[in-house]
Structure 1
Amino acid sequence: MVICYMVMSFCSISQIPLVSLFLLLTSESLGNDITDALKNKPEWKDVLEFINKTEAKLRSLARKNSGSKVVFQVEHSGIPTIVHAPNIIKFDTILVNKRLGYKADTGTFTCRKSGLYFFGFSSLATRGTKTDVMLMKDGSPKRGIHTDMKGKNAQVAMNNIILYLNKGDEMWVQVTKGSIWCPGRSITFQGFHVPE
């Protein structure tokens, strides 16, 4: 789409008919015959050069970014319904796990590509308790949720962070004080690589 717009803009500036442009843009699907024929037309030289340079740039960008998307979104199924400190929360329902960085059996995300990452997580403290839930990086707390619920009250709390990870760094969510309540997929953990 971007190539079409750029070439159409170039053609309108160069006053090349759009019908001829259509033939040029469909040449890839029709084979090299049309492209070869147009190479012999001097008025198409600049357009062909523009298309070839643009295509080379886009292919280069695609190669650089191929496979760079790291995304995961997981939930706790509710079994067990209560997770006590000092346990790691094992989010066992995987909704998205592109590049397979998250492992449900350990509850950890392992960085496979160094760079900036966004992480978000939630907590639901058990009623009448003081609870701390921490997002951990290689054993060190990076972001926390503190909850002090009175009586029969309950509330979901969320927090997030953007931080730099090196390949091999591990992230997880851990109850460090009190306990959390996990009824039916009510708490989540997610993260993704932030393109620079």
Structure 2
Amino acid sequence: MTVRKSLLICLFWICSSSEASQNQQLLDRIEALERTQTELRHFVEKLSKSDRCAKALSAKCNGNDIERLNKRLEVNPTTPVAFSAYINHSVDKLVHGAVIPFDKVTMNEGNAFNGGTGIFTCPKSGLYLFMWNVMVDQGHSTQITFVVNGAIRRWSYAVATAINSGYQNAANHDIVRLNEGDKVWIADDYASVNLSTPVAFSAYINHFVSNIAFGSVNPFEKVTTNEGNAFNGLMGIFTCPKPGLYLFMWNIIVDHGYSTQINMIINGSVRRWSYATAINSGYTNAANHDIVRLNEGDKVWIANERTSGEIHPHHTTFSGVLLSS
């Protein structure tokens, strides 16, 4: 009887231990499911928040923004962007600021360059290298500007004077960071000027001149040389046809017992004087000269400051010449 009771007690303890282990396993599974449920709930909340942000962004964007975004997403970053072009005919009489077209396009990877308009349109943001070369013939000059979205970034300049034979190049390069849609071109900063054309004049008065008003321009009706047609003898005014360094010379003759003072005027301002008084017998000269740098359109003349008596003809002269451009 005692043995039976012990056996029953052992069996009961064994059964109780097995049920406890199963219960613990169930509890562990329940806790794992609860954790998974919590993680799923957090994930759903994140998805919901992302969906609300996407809807808000979509509401702010218009159709063009969405289209641009889609286009940018479609761009293959490995697609190269490169172009090379040249002009296959001589070009002259360029308008100031005009975009230079390039009718012969030899390479256009990415189709970003329009040779007909001469404009490169950036297809995707990045760092770009541009190089250009413009060649001019002997006796001409050019200044080329590199332009990004209408703003000048860099220049190149060349001058082929009559002294230098052959051609001259206006070449340069630039590295610039561009955004999609930026436009780049090169333009003519000023029309090519023929520097081989000389500028020179020489003139004299061929009659006696008296009663000269103060400040009046001296006319020189006899013009013997007028290369470049820049001097108006009847008005006595030289109008500068192109920038450069000029030499001017003048000589005024007055008779015995008289005096004169002559001013050289540039754009209305006195630049230099000459003076003479004929106290002794015979004639005397009020002569001088000046070297001055002029811009296109500047006006130069000689004027009477004060003169008594008569100015003699033939030996009263006014001359000028372009020394260099």
| TM-score normalized by the length of structure 1 | 0.62
| 2:269 aligns with one of 137, 140, 147 | 140
Gaps of 5+ in 1: 1-54
- Asked whether the equivalents of residues 85 and 174 of structure 1 are also in contact (C-alpha less than 8 Å), the reply is no
Q: How much does 1:152 deviate?
A: 4.2
Q: Is the 8 A contact 1:83 1:175 kept in 2?
A: no
Deviation at 1:58, TM superposition (A): 2.3
Count, aligned residues: 138
Distance (whole Å) between structure 2 residues aligned to residue 70 and residue 136 of structure 1: 19
Instruction: Tell me the SS of whatever aligns to 1:189.
Output: strand
For the pair 1:58 / 2:58, whether they are aligned, the reply is no
Shift in CA distance, 168/83, structure 1 to aligned 2, threshold 3 Å: farther
Q: Which residue of 1 aligns with 2:231?
A: 102
Distance 2:269 2:224 in 1: 26
In structure 2, list runs of 5 or more residues that go unmatched.
1-137, 139-163, 169-192
* CA displacement at 1:142 relative to structure 2: 1.2
Relative distance call for 1:104 and 1:141 in structure 2 (3 A) is same
User: What is the one-letter code of the residue matched to 1:165?
Assistant: L
- Name the aligned partner's letter for residue 262 of structure 2: V
The answer to whether the aligner puts 1:193 opposite 2:322 as a matched pair is: yes
Structure 1 residues 182 and 122: alpha-carbon distance in aligned structure 2, compared to 1, 3 A threshold: same
The answer for the alignment partner of 2:32 in structure 1 is: none
The percent identity for this pair of structures is: 23
The structure-2 alpha-carbon separation of the partners of 1:71 and 1:181, relative to structure 1 and needing over 3 Å to count, comes to: same
Greater fraction helix:
1
Whether 1:75 aligns to 2:182 is no
Q: What are the equivalent positions in structure 2 for 1:1-196 lying under 5 Å apart? A: 58-60=165-167, 65-67=195-197, 69-78=198-207, 80-82=208-210, 84-86=212-214, 87-150=216-279, 152-179=281-308, 181-196=310-325
SS in 1 for 2:217: coil
Relative to the length of structure 2, the TM-score reads 0.39
**Deviation by residue 1:79-110 (Cα, 9 ceiling, x = unmatched):** x4335242211011111101111001211000
More strand, by proportion: 2
Q: Which amino acid aligns with 1:65?
A: L
SS of equivalent to 1:58: coil
Deviation at residue 138 of structure 1 after TM alignment: 1.2
For CA contacts below 8 A with separation 6 or more, give which structure has more relative contact order. 1
Name the CA shift for 1:108/1:179 in 2 (closer, same or farther; >3 Å).
farther
Maintained 8 Å contact 2:251/2:318: yes
Between the aligned partners of 1:90 and 1:65, the Cα distance in structure 2 is 28
Paired residue type of 2:209: T
**3-state SS in 1 of match to 2:165:** helix
C-alpha separation between the residues in 2 aligned to 1:126 and 1:60?
Answer: 54
Contact 1:126-1:179 at 8 Å conserved across structures: no
Alignment RMSD, CA only? 2.4
